[in-house]
Amino acid sequence: MGIEPGSDSLVTGEAVELDLRPTGWVLRAAGAVIDALLYLGAYIAILVALFNAAAAARSEDAVYGIIAIVALVLCLVIAPATVETATRGKSLGKLAVGARIVRDDGGAIGYRHAAIRALVGMFELYLSLGGIAAVTGLVTDRTRRIGDLVAGTYSQYERVSRIPPPVFGVPAGMEEWAALADVARMPDGLVRRVAQFLGQAGQLTPERRGHAASQLAAEVRRYVSPLPPVPPELFLAGVAVVRREREYAALHREDEHMERLGPALTGLPHGFPARGDEN
């Protein structure tokens, strides 16, 4: 798999192009603020608890400095890196805005990527109050901050609106064939493969699309009669539509039949008293 230069698309080894949307600047900022408040709140809480324990033990002044540094590293570096690794790029802030940190090739990040982002984030997020990260995100592709550039990651937006697949009718010129075609003998597994191909055909390269259509059409022809003189992909589309419409019609007839049988199935025999009838 690889990212096409200058685009937000991921191209798999089978030449299928996937549209991966980076998280916008505003959403990234909102998620970062949520995470920062969470980790800073945890840092303050741990600091207060340890300072109280050190005061009760009458520790030396140097102990307070060590406690502050250890708590800082724990809350702002180790904790974020561990959370992102365990959740495969998520955190509370990213979950709230629908984002996930992934590698440049679209894969899940490891602890190395998360640790680099957290270490660099100490400077560009906390020491600069987010100023460096904000400017970097505005001028880089896919709104990446310095930590992303160093670690080879970016924030992927996952809440993409699902577009319902279009429902097509019988292809033009195949209406007469559709009225007479016999497609009932096709195995269910082959029917699912045809539907999967038609749903993904637009993502394939022309060469791979034509090759896959020819192979599937050769398998389908054994179960279809008569065979229409059309290209393989058009033939598959026609077979899928005919089978879909006939299965829908069969289900509709079955529903009507069950509705007519309803009184006979739920009613009582003539003269048989209903349960609970006092007479």
pLDDT classification of 2: cutoffs 50, 70, 90: very low
The rounded mean pLDDT for the chain is 84
Q: Which two tokens stand for residue 109?
A: 């990040």
51's CB contacts (< 8 A; 6+ apart) are: 64, 67
- The least confident of 109-113, 173-177, 224-228, 260-264 is 260-264
What CA–CA distances, in Å, run from 219 to 190, 202, 216, 224? 8, 21, 5, 10
C-alpha triplet 103, 96, 73: angle, nearest 5°: 65
**Are the C-beta atoms of 100 and 155 separated by less than 8 Å?**
yes
The Cα 195–Cα 220 span in angstroms is 12
**Are the C-beta atoms of 194 and 239 separated by less than 8 Å?**
yes
Tell me the pLDDT tens digit for each residue of 21-45.
889 999 999 999 999 999 999 999 9
pLDDT the model gives residue 59: 86
Amino acid at 137: G
Tell me the pLDDT tens digit for each residue of 62-79.
999 999 999 999 999 999
**Are the C-beta atoms of 249 and 196 separated by less than 8 Å?**
no
What DSSP character marks residue 226?
Answer: S
Q: Give the strand pairing for 2-3 and 99-103.
A: unpaired
- Considering only CA atoms, which of 244, 140, 131 is closest in space to residue 186? 244
- Considering only CA atoms, which of 34, 36, 2, 8 is closest in space to residue 20? 8
What DSSP character marks residue 1?
Answer: -
**Are the C-beta atoms of 136 and 46 separated by less than 8 Å?**
no
Give the E-state strand segments of 33-120 in sequence order. Answer: 99-103
Question: pTM here?
Answer: 0.55
The Cα 208–Cα 212 span in angstroms is 6
> Is the pLDDT confidence value at 208 over 50?
yes
pLDDT the model gives residue 247: 82
pLDDT the model gives residue 148: 95
The Cα 149–Cα 257 span in angstroms is 65
